[in-house]
Each structure stands twice: as C-alpha cells, then as structure tokens.
Amino acid sequence: MNVLWIMCDQLRFDYLSCAGHPTLETPNIDALAARGVRFDRAYVQSPICAPSRMSAYTGRYCRSHGSTWNGFPLRIGEPTLGDHLRKIGVRPVLVGKTHMVPDRAGMEWLGIDPASPVGRNHAECGFEPFIRDDGIHPDGPLAEPELSYNRYLRENGYGGDNPWEEWANATEDKDGSAHSGWLMRYNGLPARVPDEHSETPYMTRKAMEFMETAGDGPWLCHLSFIKPHWPYVVPAPYNDMYGKDDIQAAIRHDRERDGDHAHPVFRAFQQSRICRGFVDEAVREAIIPPYMGLIRQVDDQLGELFAFMEARGMMDDTMIVFSSDHGDYLGDHWMGEKDQFHDVSARVPLIICDPRSKADATRGMVRADLVEYIDLAPTFLDAFGGAPLPHILEGRSLMPLLHDRAEPEAWRQYAISEYDYSTRYARIALDVPPEDARMTMVCDARWKYIHAEGFRPMLFDLENDPLELNDLGADPAHEAVRNRMYEALCAWSRKFHTRITVPAALVERNTNVEVPGVYIGVWDETDLKRHFPNATPQP
C-alpha cells in the first residue's frame, strides 16, 4: 500500500467539472472522484499557503503548530506527518512545494545545526525531498541554492537570472514580443515555454521518476504542484482553450462593498492594492481563462500519471488523494487572491480514492460531512495501519467515511479555519495591534460564522445564500445563531492546543494513579494499611 497525495496551489473548490463547473473539463480528476469519494465540504485551516500546508502536514490547527502566516515558522517542536510515517517504516517523499519556513531561532537556542540531519529534516518539514520546489519562494539558506526547475529550464536552453520568471512565467505575442507574467493584461498569451517544459508537466515527470526508482517498501508521495497559482501563465494550447464565454459571472453584490454595511475587515481587504487589482472585468477576462487552462493542464498531466501507474500495476495498491491548499477569489466578492473565508477561498477540493475492496461501498460518493485538512495526516497514518502516536494530532482519520456510507457517530459539528492578518494592509488601515489581527471561521452544516477580534462577526446562511452575498452578522433576527456559533468558537479556543505529548489514552492510563512512594493525606498506621495495603515506608 502506497499513497499518492496530489496537492494543487490556489485551486478553488468549484473549478472542477465534477464539482459543477459548467465549462471547465477535468475528466481525469472526475474519473478519480468516480472511483473514490469526493468530499464536498472540505475546509483548509487557513486560507493562505504556509499555515494551510503546515496544518495539513502536522494534522494540527494553525494556533497549535504556530505558523500563522507565510514566513512565520513551524515550531521546531512540531512533529510532522513525515516524522510519524518514517517511524512506521513509510517513506514520506516530496515532489514539489511545501512552503515550509524553518524555525531558525528555535533551532539556534536548542543548539541544532541547520545543516545537521535534524535541522535538514525540520527544514524539509519532515519530508524526504525527491525534489523540492517552492517556486519563486525558495526559503533561504536551507533551500537548494537554485530552484531545480530553473536548473532544468537552463539545461533546456532557457537562460537568464531567473528562467522561471523570464520564460516559464512570461508570455509571448504572435509578433514575438515578450511580456512579464506579472502583467495580467497579457496572461492570456501563451507561455514562453512549450507544454513539456512548463512547471506542471516537469513536476509530474519527477513524480514518475520517483515511482520508477522507489523500489519496494511503502511510501507516501506528496506531488505538490505550484499551479494554478499566479502568475496565471500557461503554455499553448491551454492558454486559449477557454475564452471570455467560459467565464462565470463574478460572485458579488454591491452591498458587499457598501461602506455602511460591509464588514470593516472584509472591506479593508477589498481596499488593498492587490484586491483592487482583481476587480475589473478586464482583469477577470485576462486571467480566468489561463487559470482554467492551468487546471486543465493539471488534469491532463494527472491523466498521464494515472496511465503510467496503471501500466505498472500501481493503481491497485496506491491510495490517491487530490487536494489544494486554498482557493482564489478571482474578483469574486470584490477580492483577489485568498485571505478571507468565503467558500471560494477557504473551501477546497478533496477527492480520496482508496483502491482496497473495503472502500467499494463508497465509490463515486459525494459526501457533505464537514472535513478539515488536518484530517489528512491521521487518514494517511490510518491507511498505513500506524499505531497510536505519542503525539497529539487534532484531525481525525477519514477512513470511516471512506469505508462506510453512513456518517460515523459523533462526527464533527463544526469546521474551523484561522487567519492572521497582522502583516496585512488591512491591519494598518483599521489600526489594529498585531496581536489582535486575528479572524476565525466556524461553520456547521448550514451556517458560516466569522469572528474578527474587536469587530462584529460576519454570518452567512449557506443554505439560503450559498454564494455568501448577504452578511447576516449584524441582523437582529440571527442573534441566536450567532450566539451559538460564537460559543462553538470559544469552546474550541479554550482547548489546549499546544500540548503535543500525553494524548488522551495516556491520560486515561494515568488517571487516579498514586505516585509510587507518596502517601499523602494519611493519618496513621491503620489509615495507611487501608489505603495502601502494600506500602512500607521507612521507618
């Protein structure tokens, strides 16, 4: 049994044909969903790369692992999925992106040399890098001195300081004039590299290379694509596979940006330079077709990968997981990028295909159970039959949902996602101190409640307003719902999130156990004999 864990970057939940996108075709991903389970209500633990990924890689909430924003390191004391897998004899192999930022301060005071095996393992987030590729964000001295994909591009004749930027993520006119991929106006033009040399096929081939050489012994391969993340540049023919007519109308309403009614933090995000850059229809028309092309390219590559695996008889003993680290507003809700908690940002695709016969009952199911991405690590450990850990994971294995059509008893009632906007423009605009620039989303089967410290909450009725256009956070008629959701938030917040050792099973074993040699609260010899028949204190 092996696990292939595919992750896209910035792929929205609704940009797959199996998730209902009317014009985008993703036949290979759809086929995977048909063979497995598609979780339709999966939320990331933060709608931003590093925190979301660190939650997926540790099985713990952002407040628990400490990496609350990009560049805020994962605590040196946080074990990862890779650490756990290695303990049970499974190779945790990385092909692609992790966005891991090591805790240099923590390593320094602990006396861990960043170049030592322990330091390197931490810097690799517990993975064994077959190839690590964080795109344009190689993380300082511990990352490879040069992006491997840049090295590859150079070997194939694409020169310059940063061929990633100059070729793969740049576009070219018919007349041969080149444009930076940062200029969205030109994003619909083809990339300056052909399909085979672009990033997604490169990474897919690396996964195949790994599989060819993996040998016996179980592995988990985390194939972590950088796309469809911006720059929204894709090679031909994907760049014009979709056009203006394939774009869905922007999900937004004037009320959402009405200064008198819009939530102040949401409004401040809309007003940031970046979000303002995504609102014009011209921008949407320039970037959404290549965004769709990038997804289609991923799908085609997965088709190749699955065929490769099929040919080698690997489909029967490989659990395949398809996921994404967060969504992309693409101008919806007057926003660009991610950061806030609307479904287009915090809700993500999740498909799991367990090839074993015990999963036959659920093939093709679309499940509405609330899933959090912290569930992935425990699911993988469960898939490999891992023993209970000495560390506390906060997610729960999805195996019961993969093997049984019914919802397990006592499944979670609330999903949580967090966002730390302390380094964002909105904090300055709103004059919020760094430590209070926190938002938390709590959603249940029907309601989504968003708490922002120091402000009124936001509230959406996902049943009657699935597009989340009508914020009920100040509506007097919904006070009871808000109170209930606030209580859920506070109950979750009050838990111990830091403790990683001493899991519940160990507590149970140690409950009401007397400390050997300690006989406190004893009056005399009779009392001693009564309570501690075997005690022989001296004298």
**Do 364 and 407 touch, CB atoms closer than 8 A?**
no
Between 435 and 463, name the residue whose CB sits nearer to its own copies. Answer: 435
C-beta of 506: minimal distance to its own copies in Å? 9
C-beta of 105: minimal distance to its own copies in Å? 4
**Do 1 and 214 touch, CB atoms closer than 8 A?**
no
Q: Which stretch in 216-224, 316-324, 396-404, 495-503 sits in contact with its own copies by CB under 8 A? A: 495-503
Contact positions with its own copies (CB under 8 A) in 46-85: 63-66, 68, 71-73, 75-79, 83
Sequence-distant contacts of 397-404: CB under 8 A, at least 24 apart: 398/39, 398/352, 398/371, 399/354, 401/37, 401/39, 401/362, 401/367, 401/369, 401/371, 402/36, 402/37, 402/352, 402/354, 402/359, 402/362, 403/354, 403/358, 403/359, 403/361, 403/362, 404/361, 404/362
Contact positions with its own copies (CB under 8 A) in 322-341: 336-337
* CA atoms of 42 and 56, how far apart (whole Å): 12
Q: Does residue 149 belong to the site contacting its own copies (CB under 8 A)?
A: no
* CA atoms of 348 and 484, how far apart (whole Å): 25
Give the count of residues interacting with its own copies (CB under 8 A).
107
Enumerate the β-bridge partners of residue 417: 441
Buried b (16+ CB within 10 A) or exposed e, 345-369: bbbbbbbbbbbeeebeebeebebeb
Q: Does residue 35 belong to the site contacting its own copies (CB under 8 A)?
A: no
Q: Does residue 307 belong to the site contacting its own copies (CB under 8 A)?
A: no
Q: Tell which one of 162, 248, 271, 470 touches its own copies (CB under 8 A).
A: 162
Between 6 and 283, name the residue whose CB sits nearer to its own copies. Answer: 283
For residue 207, give both structure tokens.
Answer: 């996964």
* CA atoms of 92 and 126, how far apart (whole Å): 8
Q: Tell which one of 148, 156, 423, 470 touches its own copies (CB under 8 A).
A: 423
Between 5 and 421, name the residue whose CB sits nearer to its own copies. Answer: 421
Between 413 and 501, name the residue whose CB sits nearer to its own copies. Answer: 501
Phi, psi of 419 (to 5 degrees): -145, 130
Q: Is 312 helix (H, G, I), strand (E, B) or coil?
A: coil
Between 279 and 352, name the residue whose CB sits nearer to its own copies. Answer: 279
Q: Does residue 521 belong to the site contacting its own copies (CB under 8 A)?
A: yes
In the numeric block, the tokens 């713990």 are attached to 60
Q: Tell which one of 179, 253, 363, 403 touches its own copies (CB under 8 A).
A: 179
Contact positions with its own copies (CB under 8 A) in 435-494: 435, 438, 440, 451, 453, 489-491, 493-494
Q: Tell which one of 433, 466, 475, 483 touches its own copies (CB under 8 A).
A: 433
Between 121 and 417, name the residue whose CB sits nearer to its own copies. Answer: 121
Between 157 and 433, name the residue whose CB sits nearer to its own copies. Answer: 433
C-beta of 278: minimal distance to its own copies in Å? 6
* CA atoms of 486 and 443, how far apart (whole Å): 10
Q: In this structure, how many other beta carbons lie within 10 angstroms of the beta carbon of residue 507?
A: 9
Between 79 and 293, name the residue whose CB sits nearer to its own copies. Answer: 79
C-beta of 530: minimal distance to its own copies in Å? 10
* CA atoms of 188 and 291, how far apart (whole Å): 9
Q: Tell which one of 277, 364, 385, 388 touches its own copies (CB under 8 A).
A: 277
Q: Tell which one of 18, 49, 170, 416 touches its own copies (CB under 8 A).
A: 170
Q: Does residue 250 belong to the site contacting its own copies (CB under 8 A)?
A: no
* CA atoms of 485 and 481, how far apart (whole Å): 6
What dihedral angle (degrees, nearest 10) is formed by the CA atoms of 462, 468, 473, 474? Answer: -120
Q: Which stretch in 8-16, 39-47, 147-155, 174-182 sits in contact with its own copies by CB under 8 A? A: 174-182
Q: In this structure, how many other beta carbons lie within 10 angstroms of the beta carbon of residue 71?
A: 11
| Site mask for its own copies (CB under 8 A), range 84-123, x = bound | ---x---------------x-xx--xxxx----xx--xx-
C-beta of 518: minimal distance to its own copies in Å? 7
Q: Does residue 134 belong to the site contacting its own copies (CB under 8 A)?
A: no
Contacts of 372 (CB under 8 A, 6+ apart): 42, 43, 45, 55, 395, 412, 415, 416
Q: Does residue 133 belong to the site contacting its own copies (CB under 8 A)?
A: no
Q: Does residue 396 belong to the site contacting its own copies (CB under 8 A)?
A: no
Q: Does residue 379 belong to the site contacting its own copies (CB under 8 A)?
A: no
Buried b (16+ CB within 10 A) or exposed e, 149-164: bbebbeeeebeeeebb
**Do 413 and 371 touch, CB atoms closer than 8 A?**
no
Q: Does residue 361 belong to the site contacting its own copies (CB under 8 A)?
A: no
